[in-house]
Chains A and B, each alone.
Chain A
Amino acid sequence: MSLSKATVAAIEKQRDRYPQPRSAILPALWAVQHEVGHLSPEAMGEVASLLRVAPSEVEAVSTFYSMYFQKPHGRHEVLVCINVSCGLRGADDIVGHLERTLGCASGETSADGEFTWASTVECLGACGGAPAMQVDHHFHEDLTPERVDDVLARVRNAGT
């Protein structure tokens, strides 16, 4: 499968913004992930030729950053912070709740393919609203198990 015209155009636009085209690797990988859902070797090859670098250079970058997916994920992404500030205010309970609700361990995808969730030590920068999580890049703070249920239901029903 090759990238859509819109994604190619977005990558070219990024490329031309920077003093050097390889600076656009990160934004280009974001564009690919938003279209494909993960970074396939074929798509990374296309990025490489658009940015005039070797495919291996793009792949090397893609594996360094934790937010890029090498494999397909669920339709929605849930990240729960378990660093200190969230840990002090009950993040472990939120993790346990997600494990039970979604029926899978951290790093896995629910059986219905809706949610891939993970607990992360990478502080999300929401310590003032701890415990916190992100769902599809959006913050949800001051979590309780009930609030988590509400958010997941809303996301599932929105169907985006």
Chain B
Amino acid sequence: MAEYKLLTKDFGTERLQTLSVYESTGGYQGLREAFKKFTPESLVNEVKTSGIRGRGGAGFPTGTKWSFLPKDVFPRYLCCNADESEPGCFKDRYLIDESPHQLIEGVLIASYAIQCNTAFIYIRGEYHDQRLLLERAVEEARSAGYIGKNIAGSGFDCEIIVHGGAGAYICGEETALIDSLEGLRGQPRLKPPFPAIKGLYGQPTVVNNVETLCNLPHIVQRGGEWFKSLGTERSTGTRVFCCSGHINRPGNYEMQLGTQIRELLEEECGGMWRDRSLKAFQPGGGSMQVLLPEHLDLPLDMDAVAKAGSSLGAGAMVFMDETTCLVDVSMRLVDFYQHESCGKCVPCREGTYFESQLMHRLERGEASTSELATLAGICANMDGRCFCPLGDTATWFVMSAYKHFGEEFEAHCGAGECPVKARSVAMVA
């Protein structure tokens, strides 16, 4: 089973980014059909039937999320989360670069379903060119009558505002995103109340990932039952997997959920580079636990990967060959969380700082063996004790790497250098 192209079917078509070409591939038919075939309520039910779960990382069922909005409270808001910043993730950028109108169509369908008249696309600051592309596409869609008043004669009104961030991973957390959109420092809010009850400007709000929304035109056109026939029972549809690291063909590959990870690696990614073997991989992005070669037989299924002690997360697959130092990789990830900690809660703000200091000493071979217990202690005092998942996940990779590659961590202690790098240099030379 090779790639299964649903969202990415027309990618590569010349000028697909323009409205006319997008329409010529069937674009905006999903929106028209949504108006014709569904009431907002029946559309929510259709999306529930599809079984689609959020593609941003947490995997919450999208239709269910929508149904939490309180009845008769307006205005409501939709925020498309395009703050993609998870280490290893580059699918949302790809989806926007290749087909900005597909995302806009998805935003409009979701807005119709939840009866929202103002939708926001929050895009990370680093995606400057992608923001401009989206803004141009929004203008084009507006002049064609897909955005604004009485869209395509349906009586439904909706505006879309593209909002650029400015460099803050935490803004991908939905309540921090809302704070940032309100013109505040992007720090997470206490939940409950959940955004569905009290979100942007204190109103009912839905936050959905780019890829989730890009699925909607297809679900509307082909039906929830059809969509459910793709993938596995509890992981329906396809996902775009961002593959990177020591592989022959890094890139984004859309796969039916349930496909074996080995197939993704060997057939799509062209296997490991330089005839080297796989040492470890990370299946969901920087936040997720490390997995081993024996886990390649797992299916790309959220529950199966969770059972193996990790998560499909945001769909990033980072493959590492035999020369990789897991202490070095852990250090980079810990540095990332330390840099991105918003400072709101003590366990995360202080914990990531101590973690980072210690990991640097360990990587240089300067830490003592007893400091490994300190590292585990710091992590134990963070995981489950932080205000939001950022601080919790700042411990997951490093602790899983320590568990599976304990000898490698120990070999660094007092070594005066990175023993893995020293060995790899000798091996390659």
Interface residues of A (CB under 8 A from B): 17-20, 22-27, 29-30, 51, 53, 57, 60-61, 64-68, 79, 82-85, 87-89, 121-130, 134, 137-139
Distance A27 CA – B122 CA, assembled complex (angstroms): 12
- Tell yes or no: B41 within 8 A of A by CB: no
Inter-chain contact A127/B181, CB cutoff 8 Å: no
Nearest neighbor of B97 in chain A, beta-carbon distance: A139
Listed by A's residue number, 15 A-B pairs whose Cβ atoms lie within 8 Å are: A25-B183, A27-B164, A65-B167, A65-B168, A67-B167, A85-B245, A88-B318, A121-B335, A121-B339, A122-B169, A123-B89, A125-B84, A125-B89, A125-B126, A134-B126
Selected contact of B324 from candidates A60, A88, A139, CB within 8 Å = A88
Bound CA–CA A54/B85 (angstroms): 30
Closest to B397 in A: A84
Query: Measured between C-beta atoms, what is the minimum distance from A154 to chain B in Å?
Result: 17
Q: Pick the contact of A137: B128, B165, B252, B342 (CB < 8 A).
A: B128
Stretch from B19-27, B45-53, B299-307, B326-334 that touches the partner: B326-334
Residues of chain B contacted by A84 (CB below 8 angstroms): 87-88, 245, 282, 286, 318, 329, 332-333
- B244 proximal to A (CB < 8 A): yes
Given A64-B168, A121-B336, are A22 and B182 neighbors across the interface (CB < 8 Å)?
yes
Separation in Å of the B388 CB from the closest CB of chain A? 15
What chain A residues lie within 8 Å of B182 (beta carbons)?
A: 20, 22-23
Contact with A along B124-160 (1 / 0, CB 8 A): 1111110000000000000000000000000000000
Smallest Cβ-Cβ distance to A24: which chain B residue: B183
CA distance A51 to B328 in the complex (A): 45
Residues from chain B with Cβ under 8 Å of A27 in the complex: 163-164
CB-nearest residue of chain B relative to A26? B166
Contact yes or no, A128 B250, CB < 8 A: yes
B320 in the interface, Cβ–Cβ < 8 Å? yes
Whole-angstrom distance between the alpha carbons of A20 and B163 in the complex? Answer: 14
A133 vs chain B, min Cβ distance (A): 11
> Which chain A residues border B75 with CB–CB below 8 Å?
19
**Residues of chain A with a CB closer than 8 A to B186's CB:** 64-65
Residues of B within 8 A of A25 (CB): 183
Partner of A67, one of B84, B87, B126, B340: B126
Query: Assuming the A-B contacts A26-B163, A67-B125, A139-B129, are A127 and B183 also in contact, with contact meaning beta carbons closer than 8 angstroms in the complex?
Result: no
Q: Give the chain A neighbours of B181 by CB distance below 8 A.
A: 23
In the complex the two chains form, what is the Cα distance from A75 to B290 in whole Å? 41
Q: Please state if A22 and B183 are interface contacts (CB–CB under 8 Å).
A: yes
Which residue from B163, B246, B336 sits with its C-beta under 8 Å from A83?
A: B336
Residues B90 and A88 in contact, CB atoms below 8 Å apart? no
Partner of B185, one of A23, A61, A67, A82: A61
Say whether B328 contacts A26, CB under 8 Å. no
Chain A residue with the shortest CB-CB distance to B89: A125
When chains A and B are docked, how far (Å) is the Cα of A88 from the Cα of B339?
20
Q: Which of A82, A88, A123, A129 contacts B245 (CB 8 A)?
A: A88
Q: How far is the CB of B76 from chain A (nearest CB, A)?
A: 12
User: Smallest CB–CB gap between B342 and chain A, Å?
Assistant: 8
Using known A-B contacts A123-B86, A125-B90, determine if residue A19 contacts B118 with beta carbons closer than 8 Å: yes
Q: Measured between C-beta atoms, what is the minimum distance from A139 to chain B in Å?
A: 7
10 nearest A-B residue pairs (beta carbon): A65-B166, A67-B167, A66-B167, A22-B183, A127-B244, A137-B128, A25-B183, A85-B244, A64-B185, A123-B87
A20, B201: Cβ atoms closer than 8 Å: yes
CA distance A66 to B408 in the complex (A): 34
Q: From A30, A122, A139, name the one whose CB has the most chain B CB atoms within 10 angstroms.
A: A122
Q: Which of B87, B89, B165 has a CB less than 8 Å from the CB of A65?
A: B165
> B246 to chain A: which residues have CB within 8 Å?
88-89
Return the chain A residue nearest B253 by Cβ.
A128
B251 in contact (CB, < 8 A) = yes
Name which residue of chain A comes closest to B182, CB basis.
A23
B93 contacts partner chain A, Cβ-Cβ < 8 Å: yes
B319 to chain A: closest CB distance in Å?
9
